[in-house]
Amino acid sequence: MRRYLRIVVLCLACGFCSLLYAFSQLAASPEEGAGGGGGKPQAAAASWLAGGGRGGAGGVGSAGPAAHPGRSDRYSLKVQPIQRMHLAVVACGERLEETITMLKSAIIFSIRPLQFHIFAEDQLHDSFKGILDSWSFLQTFNYSLYPITFPSENALEWKKLFKPCASQRLFLPLILKEVDSLLYVDTDILFLRPVDDIWSLLKKFNSTQIAAMAPEHEEPRIGWYNRFARHPYYGKTGVNSGVMLMNMTRMRRKYFKNDMTTVRLRWGDMLMPLLKKYKLNITWGDQDLLNIIFFHNPESLFVFPCQWNYRPDHCIYGSNCQEAEEEGIFILHGNRGVYHDDKQPAFRAIYEALRNCSFKDDNIRSLLKPLELELQKTVHTYCGKIYKIFIKQLTKSIQDRYDRPPKER
């Protein structure tokens, strides 16, 4: 009987201890939730999502739950930082205004934060810094300024190739060693849709492709390379390097076929021998060298449609970019100096509208009507006759970015 009594007492004691433990855990749980398990991660996620619009850069690298040493992280919400899109440009001479307008167009429409890599002559650095610092309230971009840098033994030869400093782009994979992928654009580029969209083409590269460009011409009868080039070039009409998307990690690793030696060469080892062989035969400088490289390595190039690099050549003799006719112009390339003369007023109208536009949402929304009126004045030109393709994608970009409620953006 005593044995049974001891067992009953022992059971009651165990049950009492269990109740005490349960009550202690209930008392502790509100403190635990406030610290890291319940509330904080949700608040961090909400902050990150709220930063996904124009102010998205502000939280990059810092969003996420606070660390709690000694506690289990099984309740923590791990938020991946937003990866920045890297955009490079080279500015020399009187290219400050063009470059600033290009950067503004990238900021206005893009969704993810941007990292600008600006290579410029020393006398332009203070001007770039002053303007870009005045935009810091946007919190959607960072920037780095670099001097113009060429291999010391051949610096003068590279700098004078085609246009001042243009060949700098050839050395970007060697200078920006920590950057995996990069979008290079000329100063006379205007984005009419988010940079995010051309950046997404990187995912379409197959395992052999390292870069992407658009054809130099759509119509062989007016093509330059197929009629005049004295060197090899890519495809039927060559490629234009004014908009060049690069997987620079692959570029640095690849050994390239060439016509200088039977041995394949890496990017940095190939450039100077290539220039020495062809410098008397090239007209468009670094673009010609790129055409030669991809002539020998066609499997390495991804070709995107002309609407991603729309130039006067696509309309001055009549419209010949079918993709732009169907979907509008995605990226406008005002080469031939058309932003600054009256030869192609449709291009100039787009440039001036974006140059004069502020970052205020209302100002961007109200950009379209006066721009369309200006474009209607250009119908006496071949490009002006199809002016609607100049604003088709632009209209959609503004509507998607600024006319929708914030939750739908």
Predicted local distance difference test score (pLDDT) of residue 67? 33
Inter-residue contact 397 to 364 (CB < 8 Å): no
Are the C-beta atoms of 368 and 394 separated by less than 8 Å? Answer: yes
Query: pLDDT per residue over 226-269, tens digit each?
Result: 999 999 999 999 999 999 999 999 999 999 999 999 999 999 99
Q: Report pTM.
A: 0.80
Strands 211-215 and 239-247: antiparallel
Which one-letter amino acid corresponds to residue 389? I
In the predicted model, what is the mean pLDDT of residues 387-394?
Answer: 97
Mention every residue, 6+ apart, whose C-beta is less than 8 A from residue 332.
Answer: 189, 190, 192, 310, 347, 350, 390
pLDDT attached to residue 165 = 84
Report the range of poorest mean pLDDT among 53-62, 132-141, 338-347, 356-365.
53-62
58 pLDDT more than 50? no
- For the chain, what is the mean pLDDT? 84
Alpha carbon distance 265, 263 (integer Å): 6
For residues 4-11, give the mean pLDDT.
Answer: 57
Say how far apart CA 322 and CA 305 lie, in whole Å. 9
| Mean per-residue pLDDT, 32-58 | 30
Name the residue with higher pLDDT: 207 or 74. Answer: 207
For the segment 105-111, the average pLDDT, to the nearest whole number, is: 97
Band of the pLDDT at 13, cuts 50, 70, 90? low
Give the pLDDT mean for 346-355: 98
| pLDDT score at 2 | 53
